[in-house]
């Protein structure tokens, strides 16, 4: 059973794989050929399932034109951060211009991330567990309602 943190990590991994595939014009078939894995296996990686073997991780990173640390080292705090990151995989906007603009950009980035994350959830049970975890980790004041 995945924990909330593992689920977020898998979603971040999926985002990075998709970004690198797009950036480098790689197809599932090309990555499968380079790594020596089936296209279906590469597809599960693209959906967020992190390879278990060190060799598979190395081959995937190489196929995507990245280092293993760029692809697999996660700081879950950065997912929800609105501060400038040193992430070589994406361009980062400068959040220092104005606090309102920074907050709007951060909200937009978080909304997109959460949308992609929720689209990767495959079962209702998993979604219910995530919803429960979110209510614990990010309590909302009584004036707000979160509908199901």
CB atoms < 10 A from the CB of 25, how many? 7
pLDDT of residue 29: 96
Helix ranges restricted to H, 68-98: 68-72, 76-79
What residues does each domain of the chain span? Answer: 4-137
Q: Is the pLDDT of residue 84 over 50?
A: no
Question: What CATH class is the domain 4-137?
Answer: mainly alpha
Read off the pLDDT of residues 90-100 as tens digits, 9 standing for 90 and up: 443 443 445 66
pLDDT of residue 38: 95
The tokens for 117 are 């994350």
Q: What is the average pLDDT score of the chain?
A: 76
Read off the pLDDT of residues 40-68 as tens digits, 9 standing for 90 and up: 999 999 999 999 888 999 999 999 998 88
The tokens for 84 are 């400038």
């Amino acid at each position: 059973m995945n924990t909330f943190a593992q689920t977020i990590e898998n979603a971040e991994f999926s985002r990075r794989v998709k970004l690198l595939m797009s950036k480098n014009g790689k197809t599932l078939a090309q990555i499968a050929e380079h790594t020596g894995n089936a296209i279906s296996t590469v597809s599960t990686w693209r959906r967020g399932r992190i390879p278990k073997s060190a060799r598979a991780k190395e081959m995937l990173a190489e196929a995507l034109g990245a280092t293993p640390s760029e692809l697999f080292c996660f700081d879950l705090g950065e997912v929800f951060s609105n501060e400038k990151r040193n992430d070589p995989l994406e361009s980062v906007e400068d959040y220092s211009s104005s606090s309102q603009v920074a907050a709007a950009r951060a909200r937009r980035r978080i909304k997109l991330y959460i949308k992609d994350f929720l689209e990767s959830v495959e079962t209702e049970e998993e979604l219910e567990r995530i919803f429960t975890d979110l209510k614990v980790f990010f309590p909302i004041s009584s004036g707000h309602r979160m509908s199901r």
